[in-house]
Structure 1
Amino acid sequence: MPSLKELRARIQGVKSQRKITSAMKMVAASKLRRFQLRAEASRPYADAMRRMLSELAAATRHESELPLLMQGGPGRTHLLVMLTSDLGLAGGFNANLARAMRGIVERLEGEGETVRILTVGRKGGDAMTRAYPDQVTMRQPGTAGREVEFARALEMGKQIEEMLVSGEIDRVTVVYNRFINAMTQTPTTLPLVPLPVPENDNRDDMAAQYDFEPNEEEILAHILPRNLQVQIYAALLESAAGEQGARMTAMDNATRNAGSAIDSLTQRYNRSRQANITTELIEIISGAEAV
């Protein structure tokens, strides 16, 4: 049984941990509001652009000469872009995405595709390097809880486009945690290349409904790279908001658990102290009677 000194030390240690987790919860809560607003503000624009280009892909899918960012490459090399955090203490935020990622890799390989992985965030990079060391072709740092700048998505979009043009990859999918609320972040896949075609779309002669001005090639050459960057940026914002929500929830739970542990340890301390006092009184009384 622990001594009174050991119990006091444990109580003091848990109190110190509770201060840390409480502070981390407040920091995450302050960041969450800002990141949540930016993520929600990006959704209408990203969704509208994705929907418009998906319809355009459906309208032009029978044409032989389509831009690479619209139809993808001729091979079966699939790049998975995984967005996680640099820091831990965020509950299952990274572990859930890593589990979903392993399922996606197994499915794609079962379909005969060659999988390559680009990780953004140290936690995802570590997990994928352990699971698929030969398939992780690039590791990039995450945002480490800082603001997500569009320049980051611009750089990633250019890197992916260069890999497509060089023939290194043929398809691209982003895997990230979509922010639902502070307690829920859902692992989500976002196909970027080739552009997804609506499943219920059977309009084979829709191309006539689209008029391009000044011309089709010039517009698509501008809008397709921009769409790639916008979708990556929206996913980065969703992941950043989800990270702060998961960390706030995890630190709130840790703070509550620390409080319960302090109560339990305090109760054990008081019982041990009372037992020691009772033992000392018995020894004194027994000594007095013996005299």
Structure 2
Amino acid sequence: MERRPVNNVLLLAISPDRGLAGGMPGNLSRASGEFLRAQQQQHPVAVITVGKKVRDFMVRAGADLRASFTDITDRPTMADTLAVTHLVQQMYTSGEVDEVHIAYTRYVNTLTQQPMVRQLLPIAAEGLEDESAKATDYIYEPDAGIVLGALLPRFFEMQVYQAFLENSASEQSARMVAMRNATEAAEDMMDSLTLELNKARQNMITAELLDLVGGAAALEG
């Protein structure tokens, strides 16, 4: 997990497999594309995708697609994500890539889902250190290096799994909102068409009454 000069970058992009999720897939693809173009001006960028929507986008964009995973974003389990996580770890520890970023949709609330790209590897120390603990001399059993060597891969796996879960929650919320909006639009259209039908029926009845009145007047004349 050490920091080293950056020559190659990996982007792990997560999106839905299916549509009917409002603007969520498009927003994620847009954010991924902007990151890709910015990084490609400095380093080669390899891409791993999870989900059909972002995979199709990366293929159209001509990205260096190294692997693609599908059918694991609806209700992901930890076991579902390990194949992705281990591939990313292997590419990083082997030196094939020097920096790893992840693109996913962050869940804010039911109405708000935020596409974002953030760095996964190397793990940044900022925010992990507790100022109050700096003066404390801890005794580690086993050695601190062994403990960190075991914990950091697990920490990385949980970071990826959290992104999967947030992306899944965002997808379900976006789909629910999209379906609700579609239902409301259909109801509005039905009301409008019903009004038009009633107007047409009223005009037809009025025309028939005028014909009857006109015919009766002609007979009397």
Question: What is the TM-score with the length of structure 1 in the denominator?
Answer: 0.67
Report the AA paired with residue 138 of structure 1.
A
Asked whether 1:234 is paired with 2:162, we answer: yes
Structure 2 match to 1:105: 36
CA contact under 8 A between 1:78 and 1:170: conserved in structure 2?
yes
Residue 152 of structure 1 aligns to which amino acid in structure 2?
D
Alignment equivalent of 2:146, drawn from 218, 223, 226:
218
Q: Distance in 2 between matches of 1:276 and 1:211?
A: 92
Shift, 1:209, TM fit: 5.7
Q: Does 1:127 align with 2:60?
A: no
Q: Which runs of 5+ in 2 are unaligned?
A: none
Distance 1:130 1:251 in 2: 28
Alignment partners' CA distance in 1, 2:118 and 2:177: 26
Do structure 1's residue 176 and structure 2's residue 176 form an aligned pair?
A: no
Partner of 1:70, secondary structure, is: coil
Equivalent residue, structure 2, for 1:96: 27
Report the alpha carbon displacement of residue 87 of structure 1 after superposing the two structures with TM: 1.4
- CA–CA separation in structure 1 for the residues paired with 2:91 and 2:138: 30
Q: Which has the higher contact order (CA 8 A, sep 6+)?
A: 1
The whole-number CA distance in structure 2 between the counterparts of 1:75 and 1:189 is 17
Note closer, same or farther for the CA distance 1:186–1:214 as it changes in structure 2 (3 Å cut).
same
Q: SS of the residue aligned with 1:80? A: strand
Deviation at 1:166, TM superposition (A): 3.3
**Most deviating of 175-184 and 273-282:** 273-282
For 1:228-268, what per-residue CA distance to the aligned partner results, in whole angstroms no more than 9, with x for missing partners?
11101111011111111111111111111111111111000
Aligned residues with identical type, % of pairs: 36
> What's 2:8 paired with?
77
Between stretches 135-144 and 249-258, larger displacement belongs to: 135-144
Correspondence for 1:56:
none
Query: Which of these residues, 56, 74, 77, is aligned with residue 149 of structure 1?
Result: 77
Query: What code does the residue aligned with 1:82 have?
Result: A
Tell me the CA shift for residue 289 of structure 1.
3.0
Change (3 A) 1:117 1:210: farther
Contact 2:102 2:119 (8 Å CA) reproduced: yes
**Cα deviation, residue 274, structure 1:** 0.8
| Rounded Cα–Cα distance in structure 2 between residues aligned with 1:210 and 1:79 | 36
What amino acid is the match of 1:99?
R
Match of 1:54 in 2: none
The Cα of 1:118 is off from its aligned counterpart by 1.0
Q: Which runs of 4+ in 1 moved over 4 A?
A: 206-212
* 1:167 paired residue number: 95
- Cα contact 2:51–2:71 (8 A) shared by 1: yes
CA 1:193–1:209 in structure 2 vs 1: closer, same or farther (change >3 Å)?
farther
Deviations 1:8-43 (A, max 9, x none): xxxxxxxxxxxxxxxxxxxxxxxxxxxxxxxxxxxx
1:90 Cα deviation from its structure 2 partner:
1.1
d(CA) in 2 for partners of 1:210, 1:171: 31
Task: Give the equivalent residue in structure 1 for 2:48.
Answer: 118
- 70 and 212 in structure 1: CA distance in 2 versus 1, 3 angstrom threshold: farther
TM-score, normalised with respect to structure 2? 0.87
Partner SS state of residue 79, structure 1: strand
Secondary structure of residue in 2 paired with 1:91: coil
Q: Which residue of 1 aligns with 2:202?
A: 274
1:261 maps to what in 2? 189
The verdict on how the C-alpha distance between 1:192 and 1:211 changes in structure 2, with shifts beyond 3 A counting, is farther
- CA RMSD, 1 decimal: 2.3
Counterparts of 2:44 and 2:138 in 1: how far apart (Å)?
Answer: 35
Q: Secondary structure at the match of 1:119?
A: strand
Distance 1:155 1:94 in 2: 23
